[in-house]
Structure 1
């Protein structure tokens, strides 16, 4: 008789390292070089990054998926901080976790009534200095979060993203010569990925 086929070994636990690979996988669409450097810093292969993303998608699409808030606690552990927050007329909790790849940032989940997750993105860590955002030249990939860009170039108008983890902003910002430009900025998991200048200088571009 020939050798019996070996059973596939069960995958190990999904860890914060795997979750960082999930974040990177989506960012690779816009900044493959930055993602490649980050992947090497984490000491993982391209295949491992793809496998981590595949496992994450399987968790999301499971016939009986775990609630999002519970899933994040399972993967990332107990939040580093939990704070009550009020947005408009609604109350929620902000859960934050550190990620070694971005020591000055935190992964934040806003949890509403009955554990509903409202937002999941990267934000600046408490006490960490925010970047100086004055001109287009300061808006480099991964340089700022979506809330930092919105504050620096107010008023900014939110734009619909091309995927659940992507957001956009439209605003006016001066170029290096001080000339106002209409800008669209794209963010993945709350972190800036790229910008484009469109429309008439000094006017916020239309959707």
Structure 2
């Protein structure tokens, strides 16, 4: 894309983001189950609409990583258990989306961490995923998490981590791993989590939504 055309496209997308308040599920290639946790986002959206005054559609749509449809949404949610593959078209599209004001939250549903970093490296080759300090605003945008990302599910007994990529000092990609927020957002009977654990997951999710919509 020529520089002049890209600048125009970015301006239009930024205008669209200013008016939009919705999120979508990111579909990706590689065989990973991008469609996992089907009740998670509807529950998170309902929680946000009730508690942080968002007005999101309670039935999120799914959009392909290589489609311009992603530019209709200021926040993309990505999850799964396995392999991730971004094509060259996906990489260009995702980079343009992120540098023009978009935000990508990737929640490791267990198994993504092995594959994801090399694919993100295609989008921002000059960066490595960096752990966010507990003082980062995303941990206090709506609810306070003074110790950083909460632990929702045990997998390998490792501590939860919130890792990020930045564009011009703005956090544009958040990768949450060893936490499994999405499992905490699902219907109570799916995983049998105590209400206090689900509440933490939903509150942290609301923080992510609020941060993405306002930054």
Q: TM-score under structure 1 normalisation?
A: 0.31
Of structures 1 and 2, the one with the larger relative CO (CA 8 A, separation 6+) is 2
Structure (1/2) with the larger helix percentage: 2
Structure (1/2) with the larger strand percentage: 1
